[in-house]
Amino acid sequence: MMTLREFVRSTPFFIIAHRGASGEAPENTLASVRIALEGGAKMVEVDLQVSHDDQLMVFHDNILGRTTNGHGYIKNHDASELRSLDAGAWFGPQFAGEPIPFLHEILDLIKDRAYLNLEIKPLQEDPNALQTIAKAIGIIKERGLQAYTVFASFDHHALAAVKEIDPTLHTCALNVPGDTRLPSEILTACHADAFGCSIHELTHKRADDCAEHQIPWGVYTVNTVEELHKALAYGVSAVVSNHPNALASP
């Protein structure tokens, strides 16, 4: 498998599975990632959270109630408690008992099969966020996946922290709603390698700036063929979708 840098340079367009194939299975679970991989997803996006005992978990929300039978903040529960929760039944009975995965489980599942897009939460949400980022990088490097991973965040200070740990790591700056700077200005400020924004934030100014500066860029969340065509008209490099398998063969 070619490195992420080589892949992006040689691939005009690709689809990123949002929290796995989250339109087909419960988000951020091994099931959703498996379905995305089975459908041929080239990149899988998942979210990073940390347990009370500093275990790296794949989960989106700060609180547990939306996608599990648990309650309260994820950071107030040890990993063993989190692993005992049901993170699948809310989506459908066939997924009952699906656990919250550890980051290393996701890494082991996608290794040699797809690229990883790991979203980092804002630094202010966790006083130990810098240590969490360093630990995540360590686990990724242990598995030799640093050249196949991109770290994405709305918190550009977090991306700068990634680069401080290792300047060779890939980062993607997600546009903060209301930020009117051009992608090239944002990337210069935080030393990121790629840019992402909502499909509702697509403008010709952003598209022209990315083209002029040869910036890889993508939009989220694209779930219909109509949205896909809109994104392609702006010349995006990638789209993030809950239905990656369907969009791959519309």
Q: pLDDT of 34-85, one tens digit each? A: 999 999 999 999 999 999 999 999 999 999 999 999 999 999 999 999 999 9
Q: pLDDT of 175-218, one tens digit each? A: 999 999 999 999 999 999 999 999 999 999 999 999 999 999 99
pLDDT band at residue 154 using 50, 70 and 90 as cut-offs: very high
Give the pLDDT score at 126.
81
d(CA 64, CA 214): 40
Q: Respond yes or no: is residue 18 known to be catalytic.
A: yes
Provide mean pLDDT across the span 161-186. Answer: 97
Domains and CATH numbers, the chain: 4-248 (3.20.20.190)
Q: Pick the catalytic residue from 52, 60, 104, 191.
A: 60
| DSSP conformation letters of 109-140 | HHTTT-EEEEEPPPGGG-TTHHHHHHHHHHHH
Chain-centroid distance, C-alpha 246: 19
Extract the tokens encoding 29.
């679970």
Q: Respond yes or no: is residue 243 known to be catalytic.
A: no
d(CA 242, CA 196): 16
Residue count (the chain): 250
Q: Pick the catalytic residue from 18, 77, 156, 243.
A: 18
